[in-house]
Amino acid sequence: MRQTHHHEAAHAVFALWSGLRVTDLRIGREELNGVMIEGVCAFVHGGVSDLALAEIYLAGPAVESMMDHNWNYNEINEDYLQAGLLLENVVEDITAVVAKVKQRVNSLFPEIDRLAKALLEHKRLDEHEIMQIARMPAWRLSK
Ligand SMILES: [Zn+2]
């Protein structure tokens, strides 16, 4: 079973962890730019490195693959595609970045899981709700 709520929550927590604003989080099938998708995490992209941005993209597939060992979804491939484009001039091997992302998913799992469960219940969360529910460690939000 797809863990779309965890997928989108992981994007959100990684974006917050990088000091970015997350403005909208929602799950449910919808069409975006002609493609059917199952969730959205909207965040403000400015002011972080391509590596940090790639890690935000990779966080979604990372948490899903850790929770569902039969995963294989087109939407995930889109995340990998975006991360690959960002990383092609930055790192030689994307698997090392994926491993680092999975480690961080583990350490941030309480925040991801809390946000995912609220998202599953409410289907959509705004910026204020995301901040309240994620309750990121204060040392991550000081910059
Ligand atoms: Zn995604």
Domain boundaries, the chain: 4-140
Distances from the Cα of 66 to the Cα of 10, 40, 95, angstroms: 12, 20, 15
Q: Measured in angstroms, how far is the CA atom of residue 62 from the centroid of ligand 1?
A: 10
Q: What is the predicted pLDDT for the residue at 75?
A: 63
Q: What is the predicted pLDDT for the residue at 101?
A: 96
Q: What is the predicted pLDDT for the residue at 138?
A: 65
Amino acid at 39: G
Q: What is the predicted pLDDT for the residue at 97?
A: 94
Is there a contact between 63 and 101 (Cβ–Cβ < 8 Å)?
no
Q: What is the predicted pLDDT for the residue at 74?
A: 64
In 3D space, the residue among 37, 18, 3 whose CA is nearest the CA of residue 143 turns out to be: 18
Has domain 4-140 been given CATH number 1.20.58.760? yes
**Mean of the pLDDT values across residues 19-27?**
96
Q: Measured in angstroms, how far is the CA atom of residue 143 from the centroid of ligand 1?
A: 25
Share of the chain above pLDDT 90, in %: 69
The band of 99, judged by pLDDT with boundaries at 50, 70 and 90, is: very high
Q: Measured in angstroms, how far is the CA atom of residue 7 from the centroid of ligand 1?
A: 6
Q: Measured in angstroms, how far is the CA atom of residue 6 from the centroid of ligand 1?
A: 10
pLDDT at 139 > cutoff 90: no
Q: Measured in angstroms, how far is the CA atom of residue 75 from the centroid of ligand 1?
A: 7
Q: What is the predicted pLDDT for the residue at 140?
A: 62
Q: Measured in angstroms, how far is the CA atom of residue 76 from the centroid of ligand 1?
A: 6
Which has the minimum average pLDDT: 15-19, 45-49, 120-124, 139-143? 139-143
Residues with CB under 5 A from ligand 1 (ion): 60, 79
The band of 85, judged by pLDDT with boundaries at 50, 70 and 90, is: very high
How confident is the prediction for the chain on average, in pLDDT?
90
Q: Measured in angstroms, how far is the CA atom of residue 122 from the centroid of ligand 1?
A: 19
**Mean of the pLDDT values across residues 39-64?**
94
Which has the minimum average pLDDT: 11-20, 69-78, 107-116, 131-140? 69-78
